[in-house]
Every structure is written in structure tokens, then in C-alpha cells.
Amino acid sequence: MRMQNLAVTATLIPVLLLAGCGTDAGVAAAVPAAQKAPRTTTVNEAVSSDDPVLNAYYGYRVALDVMMRSGGARTKQLEPVMTPTMFQAISAQAKYFRSRKLRNTGTTKVLWAKRTLASNGVIVSACYDTSAARTVNVRGRGVLPNTTPTRWLDQMRVLNQQGRWVVDGGTTTPNAC
């Protein structure tokens, strides 16, 4: 039981700690008002929208899912979709997965995503479902308690950095969205 709680905490801590990382006031003025993503998708599908900000978030979810399914071994796809500070935090999560020989199975499904302007930049709010994705140990046994939530609400800041949109951090909370 203690190891299971540690796994949940270690999985979420890097993302939760990034709430205050990075700001870019100029980005807020350059981006139109909120838009909702056009469809529900799994991170394994080729996701695309007309909105480059939402595409940046989808790219982040795909890269994160690849890292977690690889047990923390594959991290190169993370660098282009996030800021260096965010990459550092997610790399710590990857290291935790490698050291504990954990990996995810299945896929994460983004149910909806929309962007809004905030005082600290562009925020993508997204609801995703992890009911088809499990965190397992080397023997394939689930390491998270059955009471672990499967619906999560991301509030991620997205910045235009060197001509491309990248995720800068934010919060992830359990939510029946």
C-alpha cells in the first residue's frame, strides 16, 4: 500500500510542481480567445486541430504517454514539446519509472481541450481519461490502488518559444470532467 501511494505521488509531483514556471505576457496578446478541441482522441492517434496551441498540448500528451509506456526509457520526444524546466521535471519522473521498473500500458484519451487567455499567458484546459492506461511493475501487476482517479483536469501553460508552441507547466488534478 505504501509503495502504491508513492507511485501515485511520484507520477504527479513533477507536473504539479510546475504551476509557477515561466511567464510570457506577450503571448497572451498574440493569441485569440478560447477554442475547444474538435474531437475526443487517444494519444496514439494522429491528433491535429486548426489551433497550434492545442496541437502543442496534444503533442505534449503524446510524448508523455510514449515516455510512460516505455518505462521512462524514451525521453527524446519530450524535449521539442516542452520548455527546458518542464523537461527537467518530466525527466525526473522518467528516472523514477526506470528505477522502479514501472511502465504504463494502454492509452490515455483526451476527452476535450480548450484554451483560454490568462494573466500569465495561454492556458490549455483539458480533460483526459486514464481508465485504459495502467501503471504496472516488471511483473505486469498494477501498482496503483483501485481507488486512483481515472479522470484528470490539466491546466497547462503554453508558450511560444523560438517560433513554436511548447508546454511550460501547470497543474493536473483529479476531476470528474
CA distance 87 to 23: 16
The x, y and z cell numbers of residue 90, run together, are 518530466
Q: Percent helix, strand and coil across the chain, each rounded to 5?
A: 35, 30, 35
* Position 125 confidence tier, pLDDT thresholds 50, 70, 90: very high
Over residues 156-169, mean pLDDT: 95
Over residues 126-143, mean pLDDT: 96
Instruction: Confirm if 155 and 127 have CB atoms less than 8 A apart.
Output: no
Instruction: Confirm if 56 and 78 have CB atoms less than 8 A apart.
Output: no
* Position 119 confidence tier, pLDDT thresholds 50, 70, 90: confident
| CA 129 vs CA 41, 79, 82, 151, 177: distances in Å | 10, 24, 21, 5, 9
Instruction: Confirm if 165 and 55 have CB atoms less than 8 A apart.
Output: yes
* Position 164 confidence tier, pLDDT thresholds 50, 70, 90: very high
Instruction: Confirm if 128 and 112 have CB atoms less than 8 A apart.
Output: no
pLDDT tens-digit map of 33-66: 344 443 434 444 445 678 999 999 999 999 999 9
The pLDDT of residue 146 is above 70:
yes
Domains of the chain in sequence order: 2-174 (3.10.450)
SS3 14: helix
Instruction: Confirm if 149 and 73 have CB atoms less than 8 A apart.
Output: no
Please provide the average confidence, as pLDDT, over all residues in the chain.
80
